Amino acid sequence: MSRETRLAARTEGAEGSEIRIMFERAQAYDGDLVRLEIGEPDFDTPAHVVDGAAEAARNGDTHYTSTYGVQRLREAIAERIARENGVPVEADDVLVTVGAIEALTVGLLSVAGPGDEVVVLTPGFANYTAQVELTGAEPVQVPLPAATGFDLDHELVADHVTGDTAAVILCRPTNPTGRVYDESDVRELARVAADHDAYVVADEVYEKLTYEGTRRSVAAIADDPEWVLSVNSFSKSYAMTGWRLGWLAGSTEVIEAAQVLRQATTLCPSSVSQAAGLAALDGPSDPFSEMVDTYEERREYALERIREWPEVECVRPEGAFYLFLDVTAFERPVMDLALHLLEEYGVSTTPGTAFGAGGEGFLRLSYAIDIDRLGTGLDRIERAIETELR
Ligand SMILES: Cc1ncc(COP(=O)(O)O)c(C=O)c1O
């Protein structure tokens, strides 16, 4: 006897991100595959961080923590934000989260709901739209112009901010383009949002991976920081993706609301991961700055190689660890192209459409990979261009 599965309406049409589709295809690949689709550091978490977590676990630090996160970690994060970002934040303004993903989810759930709109820039991180939909608010996708390398056109975005807007999500440095938007554009957009009583949800997970442009956070740039919710995490900057640790910083009222909501979802981040986070903030920073230097070296190498491909354009990424290649000249839907490169040439990339409609015609390559393997991956794409794409 068969019966229809009962599923909630919100699951209808929920396909999951194309990033995950490529990830699964790459995982299942049988052979020598160069993984340029991955959006995470190839470095292992530095030893002093692992030691901090292991010691905590051995000492019995294996229980639930406060739903706000461990107080010492909240204080260390607040100190870091005040010192490095120039934003006067107190521990009470910080919620320790399960990665930036949870900070985005509970942050958005706290400020947006049915009847509201949330402005999402495209191309942009795929999860934003799904997270907005979870809140019941309407995602309003604003395509940034490819002609300017997807620069932040604050007037264009401001045209979509209305009395219904609860938030504008702004990622800086940006995934997938690597752009570090000019402070003046950020300030203008934040001003328009505040004028409409809307938050800027500033996703700054790539903040430490800024090679050009300024590293000041949106809350420091904005004239009205009360209307900024800062999202950050240990994942990219500290090579700690699997520890699932991040934070949400903002007004005490929003943090309080988010803390209540998270009681129904994750309760608290892992105690052991929080010990790792403390070790990362308290310990030496050299291993992390060495990683940034390495990414920068790979960025230069990859850009030099891509410059040799006349059909392909690439805006110089100023941050993060991605290259967003304009492959419109090949006149193929980019999902097909990405799958073809994977199956026939042994190199996996992410189709630009994974970042919203604004990404058609683009492929994202990650340079969070050893430089020799990066070279092999680029050789394979070059061979595809020479043998059949051009
Ligand atoms: C822009 C952006 N925000 C958030 C995340 C998620 O970060 P976390 O691992 O801290 O949840 C990612 C991961 O790829 C990302 O690219």
Beta carbons of 38 and 366 less than 8 angstroms apart: yes
User: Is there a domain that residue 185 lies in?
Assistant: yes
Res. 2 pLDDT band, cuts 50 70 90? low
Beta carbons of 269 and 53 less than 8 angstroms apart: no
- Looking at the structure of the chain, the number of domains it has is 2
pTM of this structure: 0.96
273 lines ligand 1 (CB under 6 A): no
Going by CA atoms, what residue is nearest to atom 16 of ligand 1? 175
pLDDT in tens, 138-155: 999 999 999 999 999 999
Query: Coil, helix or strand for 139?
Result: strand
233 lines ligand 1 (CB under 6 A): yes
User: Is there a domain that residue 211 lies in?
Assistant: yes
Bridge partners of residue 141, in order along the sequence: 120
Name the domain boundary from 282, 317, 335: 282
Ligand 1 midpoint to CA 309 (Å): 30
Query: Comparing C-alpha atoms, which of 95, 122, 88 is closest to residue 109?
Result: 95
* For range 335-340, the mean pLDDT: 96
Bridge partners of residue 139, in order along the sequence: 118
Beta carbons of 363 and 334 less than 8 angstroms apart: yes
Work out the mean pLDDT of the chain and round it to a whole number. 95
One domain, residues 24 and 65: no
The DSSP symbol for 319 reads: B
Residue 114, Cβ neighbours under 10 Å: how many? 8
Name the domain boundary from 246, 261, 282: 282
pLDDT in tens, 286-301: 999 999 999 999 999 9
Phi, psi of 383 (to 5 degrees): -65, -40
Task: Let me know how long the chain is.
Answer: 390
* For range 104-111, the mean pLDDT: 98
> What is the CA 156 to chain-centroid distance, rounded?
22
CA distance 281 to 91: 15
Domain that holds residue 215: 48-282
One domain, residues 137 and 57: yes
One domain, residues 117 and 222: yes
User: Is there a domain that residue 29 lies in?
Assistant: yes
Query: Comparing C-alpha atoms, which of 116, 200, 107 is closest to residue 154?
Result: 200
User: Is there a domain that residue 4 lies in?
Assistant: no
One domain, residues 140 and 183: yes
One domain, residues 25 and 140: no
Q: State the helix-helix crossing angle for 252-262 and 99-111, rounded to 10 degrees.
A: 110
One domain, residues 192 and 230: yes
Specify the CATH number for the domain of residue 330: 3.90.1150.10
Ligand 1 midpoint to CA 238 (Å): 13
Specify the CATH number for the domain of residue 275: 3.40.640.10
User: Which ligand 1 atom sits closest to the C-alpha of 102?
Assistant: 11
Calculate the alpha carbon distances from 63 to 115, 241, 245, 268 in Å. Answer: 39, 22, 16, 10
User: Is there a domain that residue 3 lies in?
Assistant: no
User: Is there a domain that residue 309 lies in?
Assistant: yes
CA distance 378 to 125: 24
